[in-house]
Chains A and B, each alone.
Chain A
Amino acid sequence: MFYHLFEYLSESGNAPAVFRYLTSRALIAFVTAFILTLIVGRPLIIKLYKKGFRSFERSYGDINAQSKKGTPMMGGIIMVITSMLSAVLWCDMTSSFVIPLFAAGIWFAIFGGMDDYLKIKYKNPDHGLSRTVKFSIQILFGGALAFFVLNPAISPLPPEIANGMQIPFFKGIIFNSSVFTALWIIFIITYSANAVNFADGMDGLATVPSIFVFIVIAIFSYIIGNSIQAQHLLFTYIPGSGEIAVFCAAVIGAAVGFLWFNTHPAEVFMGDLGSLFLGGIMGTAAVLIRQEAIYIMAGAIFVLEITSTFVQENIGFKNYRRILYRAPLHHHYHHKGMAESKIVVRFWIISAIMAVISIITIKFR
């Protein structure tokens, strides 16, 4: 919003140009989102609690000194509101990169919210939206996104980039196929949404790695969207993709603000609303700059979480045995006795390192 305002003002020569720069807007979006979250956070938490949107435990038992039962759920709504608000304020809303990001945010927030709501209403973690429905929603959005990206008429990406794959350490386009790309995009979106969902099992476990992934995506967006930098670092230039960095910054700000409340012992959980929201936007952003491989690398924690569950269920249980003590991976360590906060911080460390490695690959092309 302010972007458009300052565009208008600078044309009449009245406003400083700094607000039109990407980096400034990104940083300001971050701060805005963070402060907004801090302001809005506590009242929303109280409201969620009062309305009965609270978590429950699978096992039978009363409120238990050891349990987290009763903590407000659907806290993702806090992030949704503040990040979107900040994005509206500081993004170029006409950018065709920003529109799919907003679409992803709203789409996944709605369905994530419905899933949470049903679970709470029936007081049963199995009675949220069924797996089939969840998958269909993700596939649908993935399909729509694929259509958007691959269709030269509306896609913001130049066609060679849209159809091609890029991977770290290699410059240029590796691969060129519309069909494969479409399937790959659908896969990434589905993977994204689920991965963050699985990781959201302990206080702060999904929040911080998401932040790191968004930072990496933001940096890559900025570079790719900047013709000088892109050329210098041997990336294919995609005009306008820098806006993604502003949007990401808003989400990061919201996530950091959420962390303020969510870190152990958590006062609010993000729920499926939050995890699908973050995952959906992450995946979409990665697709929009066609850096999915980097995204997977930076989000190694999510890969671990999803893979561990997959292995345990589809290889282990099919053979009537456990392979890990528990799945997803964080439960495995918890079963071995490691304290929750230790697991979470160690996963944060891994995230950070993977983010750094992803950024290093910029130089190694």
Chain B
Amino acid sequence: MSQENENLEESQAEEVLEEQEQTEETVEVDPLETAQAEAAEYKDKYLRAHADFENSKRRLEKDKMNAVAYANESFAKDILAVMDSFENALASMENSGEDSSEVLANMKEGVNLTFEQLKKILEKNSIKEVSCEGEFDPEVHQAIMQVESDDHEVGDVVQVMQKGYTIKDRILRPAMVSTCK
């Protein structure tokens, strides 16, 4: 019991002390000074936050420039394989014998393989050929002329002058086509 009482007394005494301190504070502290101190603190915080913001903005800009500059790095690396193939082809032609028909046959095979290789690389990099079958689609086809045709419906693609390609969900180059009128 006695300990409890003591505790009670102690806490009461503390409360009184706190009260006294509080009254002293309100007497001593000038509201203008508090406001000024607060303002200075906020200004400091603002300046720091602003500096942080400016720094991260600059860093983002730098990151972005780097990202743009090296965006094609992985694609470029893939393309190097095609470069190697062409160099090998040229070297093998130098070393091949006199039989021109054999050289031509080998070359044809080599070009075909390299073509397939390049196709795979484009596919891997989400570059796909635009389909030009059937109806003209202005989203992926560029009409450059209209022609008469008995074999096609009006508005269909008749001839493809240049193939088109998409990269991911965007058009890289529309296919140049003629349409049936």
User: Do the two chains belong together in a single complex?
Assistant: no
